């Protein structure tokens, strides 16, 4: 283990300290886990998910800003 120093806003530090203490967890371990998670390669997503996502992206959707506009669109179809 190595002791390192980071500059952190006091308010953020205090809030995180209270958060960790209230849950009985180590602040330094949480920072370490965060660092590790940032360095992990992104996981590949399944092909079936890609297909579903593309279907959603390519969907024919109507834009409306109010409920009245939506009702009008539904009635005119």
Q: Is 71 helix (H, G, I), strand (E, B) or coil?
A: helix
Q: What is the mean pLDDT of residues 8-36?
A: 93
pLDDT of residue 62 exceeding 90, the answer is no
Q: pLDDT-derived band of residue 33, with 50, 70 and 90 as boundaries?
A: very high
When comparing pLDDT for 9 and 40, which is higher? 9
Residue 56 has pLDDT above 70, yes or no: yes
Q: Average the pLDDT over 48-73 and give the result.
A: 84
The phi-psi region of residue 42 (left if phi > 0; otherwise alpha if psi is between -120 and 50; otherwise beta) is beta
User: Domain ranges in the chain?
Assistant: 10-76
2 burial level (CB within 10 Å; 0-12, 13-18, 19+): exposed
pTM attached to this predicted model: 0.49
Residue with the bigger pLDDT between 14 and 59: it is 14
């Amino acid at each position: 283990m190595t002791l390192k120093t980071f500059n952190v806003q006091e308010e953020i530090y205090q809030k995180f300290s209270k958060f960790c203490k209230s849950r009985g967890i180590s602040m330094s371990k949480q920072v370490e886990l965060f660092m590790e998670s940032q360095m992990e390669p992104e996981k590949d997503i399944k092909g079936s998910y890609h297909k579903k996502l593309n279907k959603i992206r390519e969907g024919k959707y109507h834009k409306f800003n109010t409920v009245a506009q939506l009702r009008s669109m539904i009635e005119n179809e």
